[in-house]
Amino acid sequence: MAVSYKELGLVNTREMFAKAVKGGYAIPAFNFNTMEQMQAIVQAAVKQKSPVIMQVSKGARNYANGTILRYMAQGAVEYAKELGCANPQIVLHLDHGDSFELCKDCIDNGFSSVMIDGSALPYEDNIALTKKVVEYAHQHDVTVEAELGVLAGVEDEVQAEESHYTKPEEVIDFATRTGCDSLAISIGTSHGAYKFKPEQCTRDPKTGKLVPPPLAFDVLHAIEKKLPGFPIVLHGSSSVPQDEVDTINAHGGKLPDAVGIPEEQLREASKSAVCKINIDSDSRLAMTAAIRKYFDEHPEHFDPRQYLKPARENMQKMYEHKIV
Ligand code: G3H
Ligand code: 13P
Ligand code: ZN
C-alpha cells in the first residue's frame, strides 16, 4: 500500500528552496546509510534550528533496505520533535534516481523529493525521462531535482570520466519543458574524496597540500541570469577536510592526495541561487577517521557502541559546521 510522505511528517523542498534562494543560503543535503548518520544529522539540524535534506542513493537502498530507510526518516522527524523541535522541516530525497520505476517506487513509499539523473543521456532523452518523473511526482506533491551537465569522478553508482559543464543556453528550455523543481548543474565539482587530479591543482608551498582549481562561477552566474531565482543544486560538494584525511592516514589509512571543494567557494556559491549542497564523502571521512583512531587507541575494545559513539559525535560536529 502506498505511503505519502505527509503521513510521515516529512516536507517537500518547494518552500524551503524558495526561502533559501531569497535568503541567500543553501540547505545541506546529507546522504545517509546508517542509524548513526541519521541520528547525527537530526541532532545537528535541531541544534542549528535548520531544515535538512536526508538523501538516499540507490546504493543506500541496496545496503540498508528502502523500507528501513523510510522508517528511519519517519523516526528522524519524531526524534527531532523529541529533541525540542516543534515543527521539523525534514526532506527524504532520492539521490541520483536512474529510472522512472525507481523514482515511482520512492514516491509511493514516503519520499518527499526525488532526483531523476538523466545527465548521461542525450539531451532529448533526459528531457523525456525527467518530464515523465515530474508528471508522476507532482500528482503526489513530491518535488523533482533534475540534472543537466556531467560531473567528473567515480562513485559506486555514479560514473563519469570527464566533466562537461552545464550549458547555460540549454537551461531555460530544459527547465520549462521538464517542469522540474530544481536543477543540478556541473561547474567543476565531482563525487568522492579525489575531486581533482594532482596535475589539475597547485601545491601550497608551506603544507605541500593540493590547492584545487576554482569552480566555474562564470557558468553558475550565466545559468542564474537565464533562470533568475530558480533553485540550483551542487553535487559533489564535500570539502574533504584535511584534518580528517590526516587522522585516517595517521591511523593506518591510505588516502593520498584526497582533495575537495574549499569551503569559501561553497559559501560563495550558496549566496547565489544554489540552494542545495550535497555532502556524502565528508560524512564517510568523519566516521572513518573517528573509528580508525579509536581502534588504534583501544585495540582491546570490540563493542561497536564504543567506536560508533565517537564516530557519531565526529559526524555531528561536521554536520553542524556545514549547516552554519
Ligand atoms: O552521489 C553519490 C553519493 O555519494 C552516493 O554514493 O552511490 O555510494 O551511495 P553511493
Ligand atoms: P560528495 O562525494 O562530494 O560528498 O558528493 C555527494 C553527492 O553529490 C551526493 O549526490
Ligand atoms: Zn551526487
Summarize the confidence of residues 40-57 as an average pLDDT: 98
Q: What atom of ligand 1 comes closest to residue 33's alpha carbon?
A: 9
CA 29 to ligand 3 center in whole angstroms: 10
> Helix H segments across 230-278?
242-250, 263-270
Alpha carbons 197 and 199: distance in angstroms, whole number: 5
- 64-105 pLDDT, tens digit per residue, is 999 999 999 999 999 999 999 999 999 999 999 999 999 999
Q: Please work out whether the CB of residue 281 comes within 6 Å of at least one atom of ligand 2.
A: yes
What's the pLDDT score for residue 162?
Answer: 61
Summarize the confidence of residues 16-32 as an average pLDDT: 97
Give the amino acid at 124: E
Alpha carbons 231 and 223: distance in angstroms, whole number: 11
Mean per-residue pLDDT of the chain: 95
Whether pLDDT at 157 is above 60 = no
Task: Find, among 158, 180, 162, the residue nearest to 171 by Cα.
Answer: 180
- 179-211 pLDDT, tens digit per residue, is 999 999 999 999 999 999 889 999 989 988 889
Residues with CB under 5 A from ligand 3 (ion): 235
What's the pLDDT score for residue 155?
Answer: 41
What's the pLDDT score for residue 160?
Answer: 54
Alpha carbons 302 and 316: distance in angstroms, whole number: 23
CATH at 256: 3.20.20.70
- 94-133 pLDDT, tens digit per residue, is 999 999 999 999 999 999 999 999 999 999 999 999 999 9
Whether pLDDT at 47 is above 70 = yes
Whether pLDDT at 156 is above 50 = no
pLDDT band at residue 163 under the 50/70/90 scheme: low
Which residues have CB under 8 Å from 115's CB, separation 6+? 93, 94, 95, 96, 97, 144, 145, 146, 147, 184
Alpha carbons 117 and 258: distance in angstroms, whole number: 26
181 catalytic per annotation: no
The CA distances from residue 33 to 127, 250, 272, 289, 310, in Å, are 30, 26, 30, 17, 17
Question: What is the tally of structural domains in the chain?
Answer: 1
Ligand 1 site residues (CB inside 6 A) read 31, 57, 59-60, 95-96, 155-158, 191, 280
- 285-321 pLDDT, tens digit per residue, is 999 999 999 999 999 999 999 999 999 999 999 999 9
Task: Find, among 114, 110, 97, 113, the residue nearest to 59 by Cα.
Answer: 97
Alpha carbons 68 and 74: distance in angstroms, whole number: 10
> Helix H segments across 3-122?
14-23, 35-47, 58-64, 66-82, 100-108
pTM, to two decimals:
0.96
- 219-272 pLDDT, tens digit per residue, is 999 999 999 999 999 999 999 999 999 999 999 999 999 999 999 999 999 999
pLDDT band at residue 152 under the 50/70/90 scheme: confident
CA 290 to ligand 3 center in whole angstroms: 24
> Do 288 and 319 contact (CB within 8 A), yes or no?
no
Q: Please work out whether the CB of residue 280 comes within 6 Å of at least one atom of ligand 2.
A: yes
> Do 180 and 172 contact (CB within 8 A), yes or no?
no
Cell 523543481 found at: 181
Whether pLDDT at 6 is above 50 = yes
Residue 310's domain comprises 5-323
Task: Find, among 10, 44, 23, the residue nearest to 283 by Cα.
Answer: 44
Summarize the confidence of residues 38-49 as an average pLDDT: 98
What's the pLDDT score for residue 154?
Answer: 45
